[in-house]
Amino acid sequence: MTEGPPAVQREPAKAAPLTPVPATWQAAPRLRRLATIGVAVVLLAVLTRRADLLLLGAPALAALAAARRGVRPETLDAAVTAAPLRCFEGEDVEIVATVAAPVDEVTFRIMPGPAVTIIDGPATQVAVAGQPASARWMLRPHAWGRHHLCTVTARCTDGMGQASLTLRPEQVEVFPHPPPARASLLPADLLRRIGEHTATASGAGIEFFGIRGYQPGDRLRDLNWAVTSRLGQPHVNQRAALRAADLVIMIDAFSDVGPPGDTTLDLAVRGAAGLATAYLRTGDRVGVVVLGGVLRWLAPSPGNRQFFKIVEMAFGVRFPSEAIPDLDRVPRTALPPRALVVLFSPLLDRRALNAVTDLRQRGVSLVIVDVLTREPPAEPRQPFTQLAVRLWRLDRGALRSGLTGLGVPVLRWDSEAGLEGTQAPLGGGGGAGALGRGGGVGAKLRGQRIRAVR
């Protein structure tokens, strides 16, 4: 079984057809310089009545006159390509800019977008006539989304004229890089579909479930000889069934705070991708509900294809909205009653908290992953800001305690670590509420029908 996200089909880099780009020709800086000096020298010679001073400006004027002239094209054929057009965060994308025009010199300059770094190739590249006018860079996007990775400016100089072209490559779909996660949180009631999770019912699995008396049809190799000899009656071992689970990932898109590429929404979508990868790998069904903007959902479904559906739905979450989500609009197929719901939220917006309360009142098994990793900045010289930060911490603590009292565990996720460490607190050994039968080692969470399996 492979670790990591499903592979993206990487199409080979191919040359894009050149398209005519409108060019506005202007006087090149060299023309202005030479003309300024030439005219200034001639004026000086006239004013001072010194013809010998013409020797200072004559070469400059001659260079002006000797420069290539002629009608310049109104459009220049140019193109910029990005390959591949689909990748994961942290993977490299090749950008190639080409200008096919009879000009003396082309200066390419790339301006990468936010959360995009240049890995290879100088930001400014020059091509002179007689050489292929193209430039190549390798960029590395650090933020998921569907966006233009860069803008390329091509400054074409021809004789004493200059035109500047602005080129933008196609939009690249950057998928979030899923952090390592395990399918360790499970709803108490698993589905009737065959999966990889040990259910709390007997079946055809491999884990020990219990012992019962022999019945006609039982396989002889299941006989428990120790119990049979002690009780004098034939007894057989029962094994736990292997079932699949439904997971619904909720993304709170109401708030988005933090630096580009590392905002709370970035973390939420990365976490959702990691969890989806882990559960889809074990044959579970995964769905998604996006809170914020227009309420959108995707019904749980298995398979690698579902991963890309989830991520593509997440591409459209980045826009502000004042709408209040009405969870009644989410159909039963998208939010099955026996599903485990994991909400990725910074817990900053009241509407998301209201949605949590609503879900708990419906009896949905819910776990919250807090994706707010940064505190408000405190100015050390101003005591009031430090006091404000302390109050903010207390408020956050009270909020988390309130949610825990409501029966909703809140897990804090540091983006530096994988989700496995975040899930660990829920996987603590069998306590008072441990599920003994067929559940392996786990704990029943307060008031909720959730199992955390180690």
Partner 1 sequence: MSGVDGTTRLPRLGDVITRLLTGCLGAGMILLPASHLTGSSRALAVLGLVLVAVSLAGPLARWRIVGTLAAATAVTEAALTRPDLASLAWEGLLILGYLLLVDAPRRMPGTVTAHWLWRQLPLAVWGVFTAAIVLVVLAVRVPVSAWLLVAGAGAAVAAVVIAMPRRSSEPREPR
Using the minimum distance from each CB to partner 1, give the nearer residue, 118 or 424: 118
How many C-beta neighbours within 10 Å does residue 47 have?
9
Using the minimum distance from each CB to partner 1, give the nearer residue, 131 or 233: 131
**Separation CA 360–CA 305 (nearest Å):** 30
Residue count of the chain, please give it.
454
Does residue 152 contact residue 110 with C-beta atoms inside 8 Å? yes
Smallest separation (angstroms) from partner 1 to the CB of 42: 5
160 binds partner 1 (CB under 8 A): yes
Closest by CA to 339, choosing from 176, 124, 126, 186, is 186
50 binds partner 1 (CB under 8 A): yes
| Contact region with partner 1 (CB under 8 A), list: 57-65, 179-187, 239-247, 370-378 | 57-65
User: At 243, is the secondary structure helix, strand, or coil?
Assistant: strand
Using a 10 angstrom Cβ sphere, with 0-12 exposed, 13-18 middle and 19 or more buried, the burial of residue 74 is: exposed
**Separation CA 58–CA 115 (nearest Å):** 51
Pattern of binders to partner 1 over 8-47, x per CB under 8 A? -----------------xxx-xxxxxxxxxxxxxxxxxx-
| Contact region with partner 1 (CB under 8 A), list: 65-73, 173-181, 192-200, 253-261 | 65-73
* Beta-sheet pairing, 285-291 with 26-27: unpaired
Measured distance between the N- and C-terminal CA atoms of the chain, rounded to whole angstroms: 19
159 binds partner 1 (CB under 8 A): yes
Is the torsion defined by CA of 79, 9, 250, 418 positive or negative?
A: negative
122 binds partner 1 (CB under 8 A): yes
Smallest separation (angstroms) from partner 1 to the CB of 204: 56
Smallest separation (angstroms) from partner 1 to the CB of 331: 46
Q: Which listed residue (78, 83, 127, 299) binds partner 1 by CB under 8 A? A: 127
Pattern of binders to partner 1 over 81-120, x per CB under 8 A? -----------------------xx-x--xxx----xx--
How many C-beta neighbours within 10 Å does residue 119 have?
12
Q: What is the binding site for partner 1 (CB under 8 A)? A: 25-27, 29-46, 48-67, 69, 71-72, 74, 104-105, 107, 110-112, 117-118, 122-131, 159-161
